[in-house]
Amino acid sequence: MASETSRGASPRQKLGLCDFNLTLVCSFALLFLCSFNYGFSDQAFASTQATNSFAKQFGDLKPKSKKYALPALYLSLLNSLKAGTQLFGVFVGSWISKRYGRRWCIFLMNIYALGTTAVMVSGTNRAQMLTGRSLYSTYLGMQLSVIPIFLAEISPTYLRGSIGTLYWLSIKCGGLLITGIVRVTSKNKDNSAWQIPIGLIFVIPTIVISLIWFVPESPRWLLLDDNPDAALSSLTRLRRTRFDKKTAYTPQVISEEFSDLSDAVRELPTKPSDVSRIRHFLSIFSPANRQRTAIVIGLLFFQQSTGQSFASQYGTLFVKALHTVNPFSVTLGINAIDIGGILFCMLLADRVGRRPVLIISALLQTAALLTMGGLGTADASVTAAKAGIVAMLLLYSFGWSFGYAPLAYVVAAELPSPHLREYTLRVGYTVKLVMEFVISLTYPYLEDADKANLGGRLGFIYGSIAFLAFLFSLLFVPETRNIELEDMDEMFGKDNLGSGNEKLKSVGEEKM
């Protein structure tokens, strides 16, 4: 067995240009462009549904107000059915990624995105728009299944947290850009107000399709696929730089890293070819793996159940219903604040660790949501209370983006055993998307003036769940900073729930 020190994480280094070669930088850039399109398209849908021309094209005329509005049922279906097709995309994407490689999955999902975008842009009735948006979400699910894993597998160990956080930063940057575009186009009286933002989704998939084959395949996937020569070639392309005299990654170090990866893969207790698929899947619930599976499920459950889809999918409509400030300006502010939160997370994730950041994130969400709930009990005509609700929405979004938004993906991709990573994440993403479906489906009825009409009092519901997320982060989430992906099996294999966190912490310190 390779010694722990041989596979130990590199000590944290001061970053310079020589820490990255052009291939690694371009690989990160293209993967971040994929996730940028995730946020771009997701916020394109969320923002355009609040434009007057979209409501006129797909809504009904309200006799009292003499304004067009989307029916609660249609709005609910528009934002909830996509969770089912996104879940389907997770399963399809993880299967393609596991069987044929990360690049094939990315290539095929972007071709698919072009076709489904065409359906939405040409939409003239509710059925076509609903169908197009639901089908497009399969692409988002495929992206969710491959991009975080790919980033984790090609990142240097001591930068894995920061690089994984950049995944969510790029999503928010995409959302910020498209929200600004919709703010401008929303003034148009015709269908171009929503067709232009949705039509811009064509751009990024076209770029990715053209460039993805210049990105090296994941060395870890190639080793798991029993292709060591290609794995060594890929790792060399990702680590060798033009500044050999300055960089830590000399050819010898590359060979050592490859040797450690090869040893780790050989030492894995179970390989897919050794067992049936059903037994292989069920092994995520074995004594050695069920703790990690439970943590992954818990992280992705709480990432959604504190009301994220309420803020992202309905935030513009929520603020619009308060009749206080320009809802598109608030959405721009939310995206800008989210980016600030993610930048703070990047600075801290590889310095103080994942767990403390998750704990603080859950506390901020709890405080903001419960305060929002309290303000929601005030007289509906009080302008100060409405302004306070908007402020708490901004604080909640910052708290969520500061920790749970990016780090749930990072830790969920780090914890599973390499041979079980796709299976574990399928289960975790299933829980995540089910919760997103529940929040998206119920929000219109909780907010509609003719239904529950909760308004800011929604904060009591989501805030209570955020408090449970705080307890979960404090008691059950382990620290994974400075621990190699392949070492997770050894860390969890002999530990019960009570000792796992301490063991991980001690090993991480031992390897620094």
For the cut 90, the answer to whether the pLDDT of residue 329 exceeds it is no
367 confidence band (pLDDT: 50, 70, 90): very high
DSSP state of 454: -
Distance CA 119, CA 132 (A): 5
The first and second tokens of residue 142, run together, are: 């495929």
Closest among 191, 202, 253, 259 to 228, alpha carbons compared = 259
For the cut 70, the answer to whether the pLDDT of residue 501 exceeds it is no
The first and second tokens of residue 395, run together, are: 């604080």
Least confident of 10-19, 149-158, 321-330: 10-19
Cβ neighbourhood burial of 434 (10 Å; 0-12, 13-18, 19+) = middle
Please check whether residue 401 is in contact with residue 165, taking contact to mean a CB–CB distance below 8 angstroms.
Answer: no
Q: How many CB atoms sit inside 10 A of residue 381's CB?
A: 7
The 10s digit of each residue's pLDDT in 98-125 is 899 999 999 999 999 999 999 999 988 8
Please check whether residue 158 is in contact with residue 15, taking contact to mean a CB–CB distance below 8 angstroms.
Answer: no
Distance CA 454, CA 446 (A): 6
The 10s digit of each residue's pLDDT in 368-415 is 999 988 887 776 566 677 778 778 888 998 999 898 988 898 888 888
Show the CA angle centred on residue 36, arms to residues 34 and 42, nearest 5°. 105
506 confidence band (pLDDT: 50, 70, 90): very low
Closest among 485, 481, 422 to 144, alpha carbons compared = 422
Mean pLDDT on 12-33: 73
Q: Beta partners for 68?
A: 61
- Look at 153 and 512; give whichever has higher pLDDT: 153
The 10s digit of each residue's pLDDT in 441-491 is 777 677 665 566 676 688 888 899 999 999 999 999 988 887 776 677 777
The first and second tokens of residue 101, run together, are: 């490689």
Closest among 112, 165, 111, 156 to 136, alpha carbons compared = 112
Closest among 21, 493, 495, 447 to 267, alpha carbons compared = 493
Q: How many CB atoms sit inside 10 A of residue 439's CB?
A: 26
- Helix H, strand E, coil C: the string for 401-447 is HHCHHHHHHHHHHHCCCHHHHHHHHHHHHHHHHHHHHHHHHHHHHHH
Per-residue model confidence (pLDDT) at position 373: 85
Least confident of 61-70, 111-120, 139-148: 61-70
259 confidence band (pLDDT: 50, 70, 90): confident
Per-residue model confidence (pLDDT) at position 250: 54
